[in-house]
Amino acid sequence: MLDIFLDAFWLGEDTRQIKKHLLIVAVDQTAYDRCNFLGLHCYKLQTEGVEFDGGEKLFMSEDFLKMMWRRTLFLGDVLKHGYNFIFTDMDILWLRNPFKMLHNDESLDLQISVDRFNGDQWSDENPINTGFYMIRSNNKTIALYDQWYGEKDHSVGKKEQDVLYDIMRKGEFKRLGMRVKFLDTIYFSGFCENSRDVNEVSTVHANCCRSIHAKETDLIKVLHDWKKFKANSSTNGISTDDQFRWSDHTACQNSWNR
């Protein structure tokens, strides 16, 4: 998965230089060793109660939920150290430099991806996805993370993304005075909802997918689609939507049948 993730930076538009700014957070020794071998900036996260030996933690399993909450705690600590950051899951391909579509506006506290975009970038009815977001460190966002992680023991069987969605729908973003933008899937897309414009898409997320093997299979297909698009564009000029179609995400669709 790490190799596929890095391939997108190599093949993307204006993305190669971003790679040197990545911090890879590893939760097992195998991943940490691979990260160091590739000469990246690497951090080994202490997972506190979950044993990671390189094996998969299947979506919504008990260890998967523990891992997601540990991630939330870690990222809250990063905010408390005063860092703004973009968080990205590793099952997201950066095909174009996303900074061009993200606003460097200090009044925006959070810019977050969604599974399906409802057409309104300010609507808290968008189904958020915590796999990709840009967040500013301030009292509002730190308070949000404290509240979010504080719900862990009262949310048995829920993943952290669902808990954040519940917090949002209860009006806590507004209560904290946060200004939040929800990212259009034209630019920040995924398997739940493909980008409608290959000429504009920045990231592709293997969401709506259950297993690592299925994600790998379908992300490789995305990379093949991208390479064909780039080859056609260099030969014929800008490709149109009539000339381009994303491959079906068959492996991810079938992963729910197991």
The enclosing domain of 89 has a CATH number of: 3.90.550.10
Q: Is residue 83 part of a domain?
A: yes
Q: Is residue 22 part of a domain?
A: no
- Where residue 146 falls among pLDDT bands split at 50, 70, 90? very high
Total tally of structural domains belonging to the chain: 1
CA–CA separation, 20 and 142 (whole Å): 27
Is residue 6, in this structure, part of any structural domain at all? no
232 burial via Cβ count (<10 Å: 0-12, 13-18, 19+): middle
* pLDDT recorded at residue 64: 76
pLDDT > 60? residue 129: yes
| DSSP assignment string, 206-250 | --S---HHHHHHHHHHHHHHHHHHHHHHHHHSSPPTTT--PPP-H
Residue 256 is assigned to a structural domain of this protein: no
Structural domain contains residue 209: yes
pLDDT digit string, tens, across residues 9-39:
999 999 999 999 999 999 888 889 999 999 9
Residue 19 forms part of a structural domain:
no
What is the pTM for the complete model shown?
A: 0.92
Q: Would you say residue 35 lies in a domain?
A: no
> Could you tell me which of 15, 18, 28, 14 has the C-alpha nearest to residue 1?
28
Boundaries of domain holding 78 = 58-236
Q: Tell me whether residue 138 is in a domain.
A: yes
